[in-house]
Amino acid sequence: MTKADILLLFEYDCWANNRVLQAASALSDEQFARDTLVHIIGGEWGWLTYWKENSPSPAFLADLWDRHDALFYPDRFPNVAAVRSKWAEVEKERTEFVSCVTEEALTRMLIVRTKHVSLGRCSTW
């Protein structure tokens, strides 16, 4: 997978995420089930943070999940506007990362559970 492929996939992801948020925006606060959206944005933040780390260690991963749990506790997001605001922060950071990623960085191997994968070969998960 090339940088151009990654950019295209992230553009599509942004488009799809925006459609989900638009649909959720039509719900009242009482109808809004934030847990799923918070789970999705928390997952995107976690993967982004993992990929940005030069050499993720077990201590880094433990801290990553502690930070994730603190940042993405569903009760911190009482409505769609709160989710949208956090989503915009993560999307901005992700856009900056993707725009700067190099072809070399796409081949860097990282451990995911018991496999070694690269950002450029994420389809092997």
Q: What is the mean pLDDT of the chain?
A: 86
pLDDT in tens, 34-62: 788 898 999 999 999 998 998 888 899 88
How far apart (Å, rounded) are the C-alpha atoms in residues 43 and 16? 15
How far apart (Å, rounded) are the C-alpha atoms in residues 42 and 48? 10
Q: Which of 15-19, 27-31, 41-45 is the least confident region? A: 27-31
Contact 87, 43 (CB under 8 A): no
Give SS3 for 41: helix
**Cβ neighbourhood burial of 79 (10 Å; 0-12, 13-18, 19+):** middle
Question: pTM value?
Answer: 0.79
